[in-house]
Structure 1
């Protein structure tokens, strides 16, 4: 598994504002979108392209375009929806699927409650977006889900991660083509499975409390 942890002052600045408990939801949403665009730049470094020739007003020029089949972006509901616009800006022709995975707050184990994905993901580059890589359970389930459908090239983009979750994912996907891009790697998980120092519940801060 390949891991990229961002090292850029703008990303650190925006994450600092996200962490602040006094940051209002509208600002939080805007910053999430901006951060994902910055992280997606690195995440798409190996996006598949094919060579083409185009005609400029002066002459012909060699270039590239995204290869087919197009990449697919999969936000993990519901917090992952807040990241979608940020990556679609860079990959406007990508297909978008949805995967609903929720964590049981007592057992900390994830369970899948919804999916809107193609049955066959063979030869598709998959980009999974989820703000928090905490215990790793949600991301592991997501990766399993897409690999079962034929995917072999998966990149996950998360704003924050914990060492415990990253280690769990790495142990699970050993030998597979998986890349994880993080805005920052935080200190640890607390007894409730929350990232420390973290930023709280990303879904609640994006959209308000869900009863």
Structure 2
């Protein structure tokens, strides 16, 4: 698979297994999504540029590194993407957060936009788009295109579980966008849900049906 990074750290894989379990209740599910997102954040930000600075310690001066380069932005796809934001913000408290609201038309399975609010300086930021499930790829592709239309040139997509169909769609529509996920599942059902997946991430996060 092109431009896809499957994060196989034991902690991530263990928590993904708990997340898939149909008996995992809303509170634990929400906590797991946050924890996995934070763990994945280490890899998503691995290539952030550094610059050397001098820091005065209590006993001397140290030459050390701090993050430089583009500022970061996190854009969850509503509503399930909201569950991933807090985990990333624990690592990246300086990041700004935008929101894109998309829902999947039950007939066409295509994305329908209903809300979008991005930071004013979004074009100057490296953007991480987050959504727990990359199923058909339609919503993620539409969100990425909207962000590109705002002048953003550096975008990553972070999801918990991806389907091969969704990966193919992003690779086709946005070959410049790297995909970070914790698992890749084989197929989709007739309703566009990932099999075996974990069900509807939004419903499980917020206790709705």
TM-score range, shorter chain: over 0.9
Which residue is 1:37 aligned to? 38
* CA distance, structure 2, for counterparts of residue 91 and residue 209 of structure 1: 29
Residues 44 and 180 in structure 2, CA contact (< 8 A), matched pair in contact too: yes
The residue matched to 2:145 in structure 1 has which SS?
Answer: helix
The residue matched to 2:109 in structure 1 has which SS?
Answer: coil
Q: Structure 2: which 5+ residue stretches go unaligned?
A: none
Residues 120 and 150 in structure 1, CA contact (< 8 A), matched pair in contact too: no
* CA distance, structure 2, for counterparts of residue 119 and residue 101 of structure 1: 20
* CA distance, structure 2, for counterparts of residue 123 and residue 171 of structure 1: 25
* CA distance, structure 1, for counterparts of residue 142 and residue 7 of structure 2: 24
The residue matched to 1:21 in structure 2 has which SS?
Answer: coil
Which residue is 2:65 aligned to? 64
The residue matched to 1:71 in structure 2 has which SS?
Answer: strand
Deviations 1:157-188 (A, max 9, x none): 100000001001001112x2x11100100111
The residue matched to 1:47 in structure 2 has which SS?
Answer: coil
**TM value normalised by structure 1:** 0.93
* CA distance, structure 2, for counterparts of residue 4 and residue 39 of structure 1: 10
Which residue is 1:95 aligned to? 96
Which residue is 2:204 aligned to? 205
Which residue is 1:15 aligned to? 16
Which residue is 1:51 aligned to? 52
Q: Structure 1: which 5+ residue stretches go unaligned?
A: none
* CA distance, structure 2, for counterparts of residue 62 and residue 104 of structure 1: 54
Deviations 1:126-146 (A, max 9, x none): 011100000001110111011
* CA distance, structure 2, for counterparts of residue 7 and residue 84 of structure 1: 21
The residue matched to 2:123 in structure 1 has which SS?
Answer: coil
Residues 47 and 125 in structure 1, CA contact (< 8 A), matched pair in contact too: no
Residues 160 and 183 in structure 1, CA contact (< 8 A), matched pair in contact too: yes
* CA distance, structure 1, for counterparts of residue 69 and residue 154 of structure 2: 14
* CA distance, structure 2, for counterparts of residue 181 and residue 150 of structure 1: 22
Residues 81 and 131 in structure 2, CA contact (< 8 A), matched pair in contact too: yes
Matched, 1:76 2:77: yes
